[in-house]
Chains A and B, each alone.
Chain A
Amino acid sequence: MPATLNPERGAGLAEPRLTGEARLAQLARDKVRRKRRERTIETVLLAAACVSVFTTLGIVYILLKESFVFFQEVPLWDFLTDTQWTPLFSDARFGIVVLLSGTLTSSAVALLVAIPLGTIIAIYLSEFAGHKTRETLKPVLELLSGVPTIIYGYFALLFVTPILQKLIPGLPGFNILSAGLVMGVMIIPYVSSLSEDAMRAVPMSLREGSYAMGATRFQTAVHVVVPAALSGIASAYILGISRAVGETMILAVAAGMQPQLSFNPLEPAATITSFIVQVALGDLPHGSIGYQTIFAAGLMLLLLTLVFNLLGYWIRRRYREAY
């Protein structure tokens, strides 16, 4: 590189620039332009940030709008108390509890798997596992939650169900148990990852206090760390519940789409979510009662998940331990 960047003009000399009045005028023009540009940019960015608000408003609006039409046809009382769900029959019945029973049963099976296993895994990774083990196994868990749910559906129907049928004679090809078990495994990472974060946030000083008393690792984990991380663990559970209630494809593929009011996981059943899929797969004239039914079901689903989200939020707010 030469001794200076612009050798033809000698070292360090700049070309003459605007001075005096002209310079001030230039500066004033620049300033006006800059202010206008900054204001426009800020407005655009604000609009982008508001898209999420519009999404929520859109969801609420569309669900309410179509459900409103639905509830003109179907009394709310019937909707909540009828024990049959046959919306597409000529003698249509709209008892949402039928679908709710499916959602409840499948979620219960899933959570019976996800919550114990997820908690144990979280405790193990946070309190027992060495650094290397943790770093190797955490990505694997993340993978578990990254697999598309349709593939889990395939797995439930074509791998798990045949195995279960050997263990439980008479198990129908479509059943809640199979779907629920696979759902449970899929939800494990949600529970374990948040619980683990909560446990790792517990300061070492609490653990040291326990170890100093002669406690073992297991005792420290169970008696000190878990209680100290309770709010985080609770909201992890709530996240798992929310996820189970909202799951669609695994159930649509493996649980059959027969709405029945039953809590027996060994039978097929329809959930709120799989019902919506079933209807959407068929041909539904826009504006028919069948079309509006899925919005009413969707409204129910949204209310359910909203309740759980709020519960989780409230638990975090109320019981958050500040370290």
Chain B
Amino acid sequence: MAAAPGAGSAPADAHADLRRMIRARKRRDVLFSVVGILSLMVGVLTLLALFVDMAITGAPRLTPEFFTSFPSRRAGQAGILSAWVGSILVMFVTAFFAVPVGVAGAIYLEEYAKKNWFTDIIEINISNLAGVPSIVYGLLALGLFVYTFGFGQSILSAGLTLALLILPIVIVATREALRSIPQHIREAAYACGASRWQVVSHHLVPYGMPGILTGVIIGMARAIGETAPIITIGALTFIAFLPPVPLTGEPPAGLFDWLFSPFTVMPIQIFNWTSRPDPAFHQNAAAAAFVLVLMTLAMNGLAIWLRYRLRKKLKW
């Protein structure tokens, strides 16, 4: 870099040129940093704008009556009672199916499956399904659950659909959790004479709980906000009644009346109100959206906290 000896003519100039070039390139570095931060700000500001707009527009509607009223043709009296109750019931069904099937499937793939073509097919399927648009799940549900199986346009159909939708999330999270358990723990358990299921149920699932729970909660946070598949199976958008209270009613069939009841969920209520021209309903939509976002954020936050808390207790 230094001027070669005997190169003579004005080494000072060469240095000045070099320094100028270096400074120009360094400026580009700084410029890019600025561009990078600005790009990030696009995302941050969008989120902020979203939040603030919802909060400001919707705040006046966030009264206790809002949570305990049914939707109504009069915007000022409309509430989200049927929506949040419907969401909770659907989430319950979703978890009921997605968690056991997802965890069991992941256990099979991690601990039992041999490396053959059949296992490959299962794994390809799972990663494929993660990329299928949610509305296609709605079509599957419409054709299969609603009509072929005859479950109708009900909470059961919705829950099953969402369970299938979030299954890849639960499976991947469980597999990660199992994979992170060091091999020497498995060996120690086997060396004590444990069978494979004993190793799984006494050690792997308990120790993998943080990761599994995190995956389940993230899946549920996704499911609670899904609209398209639920619309497709025909959740009605104006529901002014609640499904029958679960587990009341005449046994045996009456206990499960609620599963087959028409229903609505939070995202659909928001959709309904947003689509109306009357700005008063837009206010309702903003309030409901605010509640929904809070629920989603709370679940994501819970997942992160749980993962942190439970991870501390496991030492190997």
The interface of chain A, by Cβ under 8 A from chain B, is 34, 37-38, 41-42, 44-46, 48-53, 55-56, 58-59, 62-63, 65-66, 117, 120-121, 123-125, 128-129, 137, 140-144, 146-155, 157-159, 182, 185, 188-189, 216-219, 221, 239, 242, 245-249, 252-253, 273, 276-277, 280-281, 286, 294-295, 298, 301-302, 305-306, 308-309, 313
Contacts and interface: CB of A to CB of B under 8 A. Distances in A.
Given A48-B105, A152-B50, 11 more contacts: A50-B122, A51-B101, A117-B43, A137-B44, A151-B289, A182-B46, A185-B46, A218-B29, A252-B228, A253-B275, A276-B232
A305 B292 contact: no
Given A124-B33, A246-B134, A140 B44 contact: yes
B36 A52 contact: no
Contacts of A247: 133
A271 B29 CA distance: 41
A51 B49 contact: no
A183 B235 CA distance: 25
B197 interface: yes
A298 B108 CA distance: 32
Interface stretch (B64-72, B181-189, B266-274): B266-274
B44 A154 contact: no
A298 B139 contact: yes
Given A38-B195, A216-B26, A218-B28, A128 B274 contact: no
A151 B232 contact: no
B43 A189 contact: yes
Nearest to B292: A148
A276 to B, nearest CB: 6
A144 B289 CA distance: 15
Interface in B186-236: 195-197, 221-222, 224-228, 231-234
List the 4 closest A-B pairs by CB distance, nearest first: A148-B225, A124-B36, A246-B133, A48-B104
A123 B25 CA distance: 17
A150 B293 contact: no
Contact of B32 (A154, A218, A294, A301): A218
Main SS of chain B's interface residues?
helix
A164 B78 CA distance: 30
Contacts of A124: 32-33, 35-37, 39-40
Considering residues B25, B50, B129, B144, which has the most beta carbons from chain A within 10 angstroms of its beta carbon? B50
Contacts of B233: 280
A280 B167 contact: no
A253 to B, nearest CB: 6
Contact of B25 (A137, A216, A302): A216
Contact of A49 (B29, B54, B109, B300): B109
Nearest to A182: B46
A305 B228 contact: no
A62 B140 contact: yes
Interface string B94-112: 0000001110111111001
Contacts, number: 254
Contact of B231 (A140, A239, A242, A277): A277
Contact of A53 (B35, B122, B226): B122
Nearest to B299: A146
Considering residues A41, A65, A253, A286, which has the most beta carbons from chain B within 10 angstroms of its beta carbon? A41
B168 interface: yes
Contacts of B29: 128, 216-218
B136 A298 contact: yes
Given A53-B121, A305-B131, A128 B36 contact: yes
A294 B234 CA distance: 13
Nearest to B267: A150
A37 B129 CA distance: 32
A185 B274 CA distance: 20
Interface footprint category on B: 35 or more
Interface of B: 25-26, 28-29, 32-33, 35-37, 39-40, 42-44, 46-47, 49-50, 53-54, 57, 100-102, 104-109, 112-113, 121-122, 125-129, 131-140, 142-144, 147-148, 164, 167-168, 171, 195-197, 221-222, 224-228, 231-234, 237, 267, 270-271, 274-275, 282, 285-286, 289, 292-293, 296-297, 300
Considering residues B125, B237, B282, B300, which has the most beta carbons from chain A within 10 angstroms of its beta carbon? B125
Given A45-B107, A124-B40, A185-B42, A248 B28 contact: no
Given A124-B32, A216-B28, A59 B136 contact: yes
A44 B108 CA distance: 9
A188 B44 CA distance: 11
A241 to B, nearest CB: 11
Contacts of A58: 140, 144
A295 B274 contact: no
Contacts of B101: 48, 51
A276 B105 contact: no
A129 B36 contact: yes
A48 B102 CA distance: 7
Contacts of B108: 42, 45-46, 48-49
Contact of A147 (B37, B105, B232, B293): B293
